[in-house]
Amino acid sequence: MKLLLYWEFVKIAFRSRLAYRSEVGVLFVGRVLALFVQVAIWKALLGAEGHADSSIGSITLREMVTYVIISRSISVFVSLFAGYSPLWRIGEKIRSGEIAMDLTRPVGLRENLFFETLGNNLFEIVFGVLPMLLAGALVFGLDVPHPAYLLLFAVAAVNGLLIYFLLSYMVGLIAFWYLTVWHLERFLNDLILVFSGALIPLWFFPPFLVAISEWLPFRQIYYTPISIYLEKHSLPEAGLLLIQQLVWLGLLLLLERAMWKRGVQKLVIQGG
């Protein structure tokens, strides 16, 4: 029964996005333009040689174009605009008091928001990612890895999105203590942009920033799945990266549960 209920959350979120079809074209044009700009920048940076040295060896223009296309595709999910992100939704529920109703429902708030986010993500896959991948592949070309790496990439990408969901959800839970958290979404996204390799691959970073990123979960969202896609690791190394993602998921789940319990206690005490 719960699976059917979860599926309803997915369908409702998908249909609610579908109701605003006029925004699809505008978003697609904006994303494709951003893709073209990023590719043009990397072409200019790599110059006539068409490659650059990095901490993991020579990086070709073709690899950077592929990196940009995959990165832009992942960013469609990570940068869900205000009104659809888990952080914004939970912050609004706490600020408005709607959270009290969620506490009485048979489906937990985390699960509710997760499947709403899944419905939004399905919408983005159909109307955002697939058209952008097609446009990028037709115009610039897109390297396709060995099937084993492609499978590991798919797993790593899903893990990365789960990590992002938990991070966004946990930052939203801060609204239990500070009602206004909308500015924290920008702060979180800025941290992700810097330490995840979303714009600049970590192999071009100075060593001290790479060292910092290794102690943060953000690299698991972009850098880990894309580096696997580009076959920059052996298969055993790629397997270890997936284990790292699972460790981060476990740690974030524990922290999220602790924050949730403390937040609900605070809410009950304040509400009598």
* pLDDT one-digit tens code per residue, 208-223: 888 999 999 999 999 9
pLDDT given at position 153 = 96
Residue 11 has a pLDDT of 72
Q: Which two tokens stand for residue 238?
A: 């790629």
Between CA 189 and CA 87 the distance in angstroms is 11
pLDDT attached to residue 82: 44
Q: What is d(CA 103, CA 118) in angstroms, rounded to the nearest whole number? A: 21
Is residue 270 within 8 A of residue 183, CB to CB? The reply is: no
pLDDT in tens, the chain (272 residues): 566 766 776 777 777 766 666 666 777 777 788 888 888 888 888 876 777 777 777 788 888 889 999 998 888 777 654 446 777 777 777 777 777 777 777 667 777 778 777 777 787 777 778 888 888 888 888 888 999 999 999 999 999 989 998 998 888 888 888 767 777 878 888 888 889 988 888 888 888 888 999 999 999 999 999 999 999 999 999 999 999 999 999 999 999 999 888 888 876 545 44
CB atoms within 10 A of CB 257: 11
Query: In the prediction, which pLDDT does 81 show?
Result: 44
What are the domain boundaries of the chain? Answer: 2-271
Is 119:12 a contact under the CB 8 Å cutoff? Answer: yes
Per-residue model confidence as pLDDT tens digits over 11-41: 777 777 666 666 667 777 777 888 888 888 8
DSSP string, 164-211: HHHHHHHHHHGGGTSS--HHHHHHHHHHHHHHS-SSS-GGGS-HHHHH
**DSSP character string of 229-261:** HTT-S-HHHHHHHHHHHHHHHHHHHHHHHHHHH
Q: What is the pTM of this model?
A: 0.85
**Angle at 32 (CA atoms; ends 134, 17), nearest 5 degrees:** 85
**Paired tokens of 147:** 């099937």
Q: Are 88 and 172 in contact (CB under 8 A)?
A: yes
